[in-house]
């Protein structure tokens, strides 16, 4: 299986420059940095002990920010390398992480020769892959060099598990390479055990520890002034078809409520023009977040076309519809809006986060919807009420998050302190 995998990767890499150029044209890659994905590295490795984290995109990056802040204070760590795959994550890195100790690079294609070159350049003392980032060539090269390797906040869905199960020998060789897997839920712990992983600890989902800023001060004053008088609900991480669903729901809400506004934050902002056209066809009045012109008070939909600002909008919203759930995508993580006290609504497809949704449903915080009428009924009740969700629940979730962060930090610290 490894031979076949390497053959496929080698073929992909032949076309990599063309693929990257197309992605640059579609504004999905950084034109000034895309060569990092071909392992053309401009930055030099700093002297001293280096820890390497790899996170796929924005969500995974944000989940490890509190951990990075704690680890960078350890005197033995001289620098932290953070790699991600997406353009959006690099932009969030620039906004969220100011430490000079932390270096960002794009993750190269998982080709054997590139993995060797990358590891020879950075010479990490510890490697930490986040969630479901499993790259065989890198993992096997890390193991061959006897570099400690951790799978942090490990997440394996049923769908992924069934795929790995079809190639048992290859699966065992990959997952055996991890010194420890820190699982985010019981389901993943069970699947890792079935893969033959010997050392697993389940501390819970690290995303519960992400910092919650209750400030919305950085929003434009004109926007805040208008929002102050509005009944606000938010649809975030939406995919194709879900914006129209929410637009139709909003039209129904307007028949019953005055001063109601919908904030839409799509999963992929390169779709903004397409989304705006669809909503305009429905006679909904739209304002783009990056549009600095005066924000009219009769706006129906506020369309967010920037990265990394979702938290601000959760802070001013009472109710949130989480996308990727009306389609067979597996849903989106509900932790962030929950921690700001929002009511959560989602479609039937939340397999990737079913344990968290089940937990929230037990507190009546999250509810499944599959029709416009159902969502409308819930929102009418929410937006007519003056209160957000229970402060007690928020406190409980935040406390749990800090406990998870502490346990993970102490586990990782064992691989750093007093080790050469």
Residue (of 384, 347, 336, 342) closest to 363 by Cα position: 342
- Residue 228 clears pLDDT 90, i.e. is over it: no
The CA-atom distances, in angstroms, between 97 and each of 22, 83, 121, 368 are 29, 13, 23, 35
For 323-365, write each residue's pLDDT tens digit: 999 999 989 989 888 888 889 999 999 988 888 898 888 888 8
Domain presence at residue 355: yes
| Domain membership flag for residue 305 | yes
Q: Is the pLDDT of residue 263 over 70?
A: yes
pLDDT digit string (tens) for 103-112? 999 999 999 9
Q: What is the CA radius of gyration of the chain?
A: 22
Phi, psi angle pair for 268, to nearest 5° = -120, 110
Do residue 234 and residue 364 come from a single domain? yes
Q: How much is the average pLDDT of 378-383?
A: 94
Question: Average pLDDT, whole number, for the chain?
Answer: 91
> What mean pLDDT is predicted for residues 291-296?
80
Question: Could you tell me the pLDDT band of residue 17, with boundaries at 50, 70 and 90?
Answer: very high
220 or 160, higher pLDDT: 160
Would the pLDDT of 221 be above 60? yes
Shared-domain flag, residues 207 and 273: no
35 in a structural domain: no
Mark whether 86 and 160 lie in a shared domain: yes
How many separate domains does the chain show?
A: 2
- Supply the CATH number for residue 283's domain: 3.40.50.2000
pLDDT at 381: 92
Instruction: Report DSSP state, residue 107.
Output: P
Question: In CATH, what number is assigned to the domain containing residue 140?
Answer: 3.40.50.11720
Per-residue H/E/C for 372-400: HHHHHHHHHHHHHCCCCCCHHHHHHHHHH
Q: Evaluate whether residue 357 is within a structural domain.
A: yes
pLDDT higher than 60, residue 217: no
More confident residue, 420 or 154: 154
Predicted pLDDT at 177 = 96
Task: Encode pLDDT of 54-103 as tens digits.
Answer: 999 888 998 999 999 999 999 999 999 999 999 999 998 998 898 889 99
Residue 25 in any domain: the answer is no
Question: Would residue 20 count as lying in a domain?
Answer: no
Q: Which domain holds residue 164?
A: 45-211+401-413
What local confidence, expressed as pLDDT, does residue 215 receive? 52
Q: Are residues 154 and 261 in the same domain?
A: no
pLDDT at 390 exceeding the cut of 80: no
Residue 97 belongs to a domain: yes
136 located within any domain: yes
Same domain (yes/no): 248, 178: no
**pLDDT, average across residues 215-225:** 62
Q: For residues 132 and 230, state if they share a domain.
A: no
CB 210 within 8 A of CB 335: yes
User: Same domain, yes or no, for 58 and 204?
Assistant: yes
């Amino acid at each position: 299986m490894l031979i076949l995998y390497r053959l496929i990767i080698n073929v992909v890499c032949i076309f990599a420059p063309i693929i990257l150029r197309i992605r640059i044209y579609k504004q999905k890659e950084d034109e000034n940095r895309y060569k990092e994905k071909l392992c053309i590295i401009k930055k030099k490795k700093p002297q001293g002990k280096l820890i390497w984290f790899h996170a796929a995109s924005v969500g995974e990056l944000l989940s490890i920010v509190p951990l990075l802040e704690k680890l960078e204070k350890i005197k033995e760590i001289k620098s932290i390398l953070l790699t991600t795959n997406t353009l959006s994550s690099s932009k969030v890195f620039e906004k969220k992480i100011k430490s000079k100790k932390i270096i960002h690079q794009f993750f190269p294609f998982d080709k054997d020769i590139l993995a060797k070159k990358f590891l020879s350049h950075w010479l990490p003392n510890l490697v930490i892959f986040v969630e479901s980032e499993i790259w065989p060539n890198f993992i096997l090269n890390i193991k061959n060099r006897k570099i400690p390797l951790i799978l942090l906040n490990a997440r394996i869905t049923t769908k992924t598990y069934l795929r790995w199960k079809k190639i048992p020998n290859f699966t065992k060789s990959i997952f055996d390479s991890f010194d420890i897997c820190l699982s985010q839920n019981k389901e993943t712990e069970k699947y890792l055990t079935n893969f033959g992983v010997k050392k697993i600890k389940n501390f819970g989902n690290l995303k519960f520890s992400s910092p919650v800023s209750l400030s919305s001060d950085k929003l434009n004053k004109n926007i805040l002034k208008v929002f102050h008088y509005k009944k606000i609900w938010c649809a975030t991480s939406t995919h194709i078809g879900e914006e129209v669903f929410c637009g139709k729901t909003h039209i129904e809400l307007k028949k019953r409520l005055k001063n109601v506004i919908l904030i839409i934050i799509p999963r992929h902002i390169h779709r903004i023009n397409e989304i705006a056209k669809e909503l305009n066809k429905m006679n909904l009045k739209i304002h783009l977040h990056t549009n600095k012109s005066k924000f009219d008070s009769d706006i129906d939909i506020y369309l967010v076309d920037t990265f990394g600002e979702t938290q601000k909008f959760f802070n001013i919203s009472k109710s949130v519809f989480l996308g990727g759930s009306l389609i067979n995508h597996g849903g989106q993580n509900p932790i962030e809006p929950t921690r700001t006290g929002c009511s959560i609504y989602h479609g039937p497809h939340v397999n990737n986060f079913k344990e968290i949704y089940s937990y929230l449903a037990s507190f009546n915080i999250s509810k499944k919807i599959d029709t416009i009428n159902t969502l409308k009924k819930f929102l009418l009740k929410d937006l007519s009420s003056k209160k957000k969700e229970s402060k007690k629940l928020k406190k409980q979730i935040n406390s749990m998050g800090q406990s998870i962060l502490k346990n993970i930090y102490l586990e990782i610290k064992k691989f750093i302190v007093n080790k050469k």
